[in-house]
Amino acid sequence: MLSYLAAVYHQLCLLGRRGLGWIPYQCVLCGDGITDAYLCEGCLRDLPWLAPARCPVCALPTFEGRICGQCLRAPPAFDATYSSLSFDFPLDALVRAYKFQHRLALQPLLSDLLTRARPVERPDLLIPVPLATERLRERGFNQAYELIRPWAAQGWPLSTQHLIKIRDTAPQHHQSQADRARNLKGAFECINPVRGLHILLVDDVMTSGATLHEAALTLKRWGALRVSCLILARTLPQRR
């Protein structure tokens, strides 16, 4: 029901923004007048775009786009990651407002930015990373599902009936990579056949990659042939 209400709210936002042509648009970041879209050219240009050369497995910037050392030392369960932005200002503020402050009107903008990382190869299934029942009830919506939902209207095979999260996990914002991995172990379960399929997992942010690794590991244990990740933003390591 909450997801349905969120969908209705999104449509009302779009109608209000695009249906009333006499109302001038404003950039959601700087407030300047624009003719369409959600960001002015300057703010769009100044978003934290990732460098073209990045690890094909985890999307961290690397020399000449080679596989990074971490993925060579400890390969994750997923095979590839697609992203075009880093989780830095001002995108981080937009994502937090959407995710934690229920600024659902930001969904069309964030969905559009996610589309810029869309892979050329179409998967057999698009699966948004699921939330545990308690977390979904608390938040009222699954941010990954809402970001990818518009793709279903374009014929992409979106499913929420293959992977579920069977237990809630502690917030991971301040946990080490090892603690995140322990926290998520056994958190997902596959409930419908995925054998031989190429799955594209979708999430808003990748930090350590622990969530996507555990989700991909679960899918591969159930026979998925390939698991790729599509994320809105990639958290970059802090410079020392």
Q: What is the CA radius of gyration of the chain?
A: 18
**Residue 56, helix vs strand vs coil:** coil
pLDDT band at 239 (very low <50, low <70, confident <90, very high): low
How does pLDDT run across 165-220, given as a tens digit for each residue? 998 776 666 666 677 777 788 899 999 999 999 999 999 999 999 999 999 999 99
Asked if residue 15 has pLDDT above 50, the reply is no
In this model, does residue 236 exceed pLDDT 60? yes
Query: Which pair of tokens denotes residue 75?
Result: 């390969």
Q: Can you tell me the mean pLDDT for 134-151?
A: 94
Q: What is the pLDDT of residue 126?
A: 98
Question: pTM for this structure?
Answer: 0.86
Token pair of 115 as six digits: 């589309």
Residue 25 above 60 pLDDT?
yes
Cβ atoms of residues 148 and 111 within 8 Å: yes
Share of the chain above pLDDT 70, in %: 84
Is the per-residue pLDDT at 23 higher than 50?
A: no
The answer on pLDDT for 55 being more than 60 is: yes
Residues 4 and 171: their CA atoms lie apart, in Å, by 26
CATH 3.40.50 fits 48-234, yes or no: yes
Q: What pLDDT shows up at residue 13?
A: 47
Answer whether residue 106 shows pLDDT above 50. yes
What is the residue-averaged pLDDT of the chain?
88
Write down the pLDDT at residue 40: 93
Helices (H), the chain: 2-14, 41-45, 69-73, 91-100, 107-115, 133-139, 143-152, 177-184, 210-221
**The pLDDT value given to residue 234:** 98
Overall average pLDDT of the 48-54 stretch? 96
Average pLDDT over residues 154-169: 92
Contact 82, 114 (CB under 8 A): no
- Does residue 22 have a pLDDT over 50? no
Q: Is pLDDT at 21 greater than 70 in this prediction?
A: no
